[in-house]
Amino acid sequence: MAGRAQPVSPWPGAGAAALVAALILGTLAAVALRAETSAGFGPADWAALRFTLVQAVLSAVFSVALAIPVARALARRRFPGRRALIALLGAPFILPVIVAILGLLQVFGRAGWISEVLGLFGLSPLRIYGLHGVVLAHVFFNLPLATRLILQAWQEIPAERFRLAAQLGCNGTAMFRLIELPMLRRILPGVLAVIFAICLTSFAVALTLGGGPRATTIELAIYQAFTYDFDLGRAALLSALQLALTVVAALAALRFSQGDGFGAGLDRAIRRWDGGSPLFDVFWIGTAAAFLLLPLAAVVISGLVGLFEMPALVFRAALISVLVAAASTAVLLLLALPMATAVATGRYGIVELCGILGLAASPLVIGTGLFILIRPVANPTTLALPVTALVNAVMALPFALRILVPAAQDVVTRHGRLALSLDMDKKTFFTRVLLPRMQPQIRFAAGLSAALSMGDLGVIALFADPHIATLPLQIYRLMGAYQMQAAAGAALLLLLLSMGAFWLLDRGGRLHAET
């Protein structure tokens, strides 16, 4: 496509990508330059690298493999409560890590619900701690994301293709091979790469569910380098390694996700004629719902009592979190929309690469780097909230791009030539064609980003000012002060707020999902 005229300008997107890359690489450089002597890379780091890679690959593969049948079942079936279920399934992804760990272990732990049921039959409790526990926890976090991304691709297949296939007498298997498999081949590498990158930076989850120091990840080694050894050089080196691994994964994904889309359709509601027996789909939807919703139920149940014991301060923290989430979502859209547009014009894969860096960047390195950079010019503590909002936006960027890019590509392919032949100017194409047609994806991306930002501790702990705490920070503080019950209540409030924000922003997305 090189050199061909484009209906929309890639330059704002290239600029946004440069900003993101400058932020991530600049903070890394700031940390590296501040380093004194460094112990460099030790044998323990190789062990950490090995474990990190193994768990990230397994987590990505299992999350995606399980998401395919779940997304297919959701794409094929209509049932009451489907919309609510799809929205709820997204919840694990947005919980603060510590809350999710406690919820997960209340179901799968030694004293968890499943172990209790096993105990009734005289069986020994579940052995959750180990590599399988790490993978289970990562699937819990990422299955919903994988399902949503794949489901979205499913729903973007023009209804006409299914109609044609049905007219030609395709059964379920043939339909899968002719229509769905090519779609999956196009979308799966990107989804795998994103989840791989998320799991690469896992720390508390991997350690706790892994059952001990065998489950040491690179992110733990970075933390250790910062606080235990104060070896900034090693922290920067390890962080660069994380970034390099993510870039390799992203390049592999870009390379393997070749293949054309399905071309234009008339935006009709999708009808499927290959229903067959619903048992298979019921099984997958039921299993996924049970797996994801039981730990959430545990969070809700432990939170109910605490909800009435929460000090008023928690509500102020909640307000601050809502403001941070709103600002972070605005920043995210300002970055993601031009970037997705640039990628859609075909020549700017590097833009998407810059976006995915946000996943692999260690929050500790970004936070410390920003701290080093801001300090000479301003008091970092007074900038705690804007910095948190900015970092949260950059962290959510890779997800937003995965959501927005396929849709933007579709619009440019479908309507680009017509716009060019009409001599429509680039700005008009962007505002009158691209944005309106991408509305469901924009809403989904905004909802996800707002929810993520609300639930993420982010870098606020590094910049903390005692008077301005976000809700996740206040949850950590409550726990640190033995107030586990009030913390559980605050976690429930956070869950409600995050889901509320997601629900509100994603409404268009759900309408789209339903058609």
Residue with Cβ nearer other proteins (229 or 514): 229
Kindly state whether residue 50 participates in binding other proteins, applying the rule CB under 8 A.
no
Under the criterion CB under 8 A, does residue 482 sit at the interface with other proteins?
yes
Residue-wise DSSP of 241-253: HHHHHHHHHHHHH
105 backbone φψ class: left, alpha, beta (φ>0; ψ -120 to 50) = alpha
Whether 67 and 146 have beta carbons less than 8 Å apart is answered as yes
Tell which one of 483, 492, 494, 513 touches other proteins (CB under 8 A): 483
193 lies in the site for other proteins, by CB under 8 A: no
d(Cα 279, Cα 341) in Å, to the nearest integer? 41
Q: Which of these segments, 289-297, 403-411, 427-435, 466-474, binds other proteins (CB under 8 A)?
A: 466-474
If binding is defined by CB under 8 A, does position 481 make contact with other proteins? yes
CA distance linking residue 253 with residue 247, whole number of Å: 10
| Contact between residue 317 and residue 471 where contact means Cβ atoms under 8 Å apart | yes
Interaction of residue 392 with other proteins, rule CB under 8 A: no
User: Does residue 217 touch other proteins according to CB under 8 A?
Assistant: no
Distance (Å, whole) CA 500 – CA 482: 28
Residue 290: count other Cβ atoms within 10 Å of its Cβ: 11
Give me Rg for the CA atoms of the chain: 23
**Binds other proteins (CB under 8 A): choice among 49, 145, 462, 497:** 462
Window 161 to 190, contacts with other proteins (CB under 8 A):
none
Instruction: Tell me if 55 contacts other proteins by CB under 8 A.
Output: no
Q: Distance between CA atoms of 113 and 117, rounded to whole angstroms? A: 6
Interface residue with other proteins, options 5, 37, 122, 228 (CB under 8 A): 228
Min dist CB 290 to other proteins, Å, is 20
Site for other proteins (CB under 8 A): which residue of 15, 34, 273, 420?
A: 34
> Residue 14 interacts with other proteins (CB under 8 A)?
no
| Best CA proximity match to 326, nearest among 441, 436, 452, 440 | 452
Of 400, 490, 407, the C-alpha closest to 452 is: 400
How many chain residues touch other proteins (CB under 8 A)?
Answer: 68
Contact 494, 318 (CB under 8 A): yes
Among 40, 119, 212, 263, binds other proteins (CB under 8 A): 212
Q: For binding to other proteins (CB under 8 A), which residues are involved?
A: 34, 44, 47, 98, 101-102, 105-106, 109-112, 129, 203-204, 207-214, 220, 223-224, 226-228, 230, 311, 313, 320, 323-324, 327, 330-331, 368, 371-372, 375, 379, 381-386, 389, 461-462, 464-469, 476-484, 487
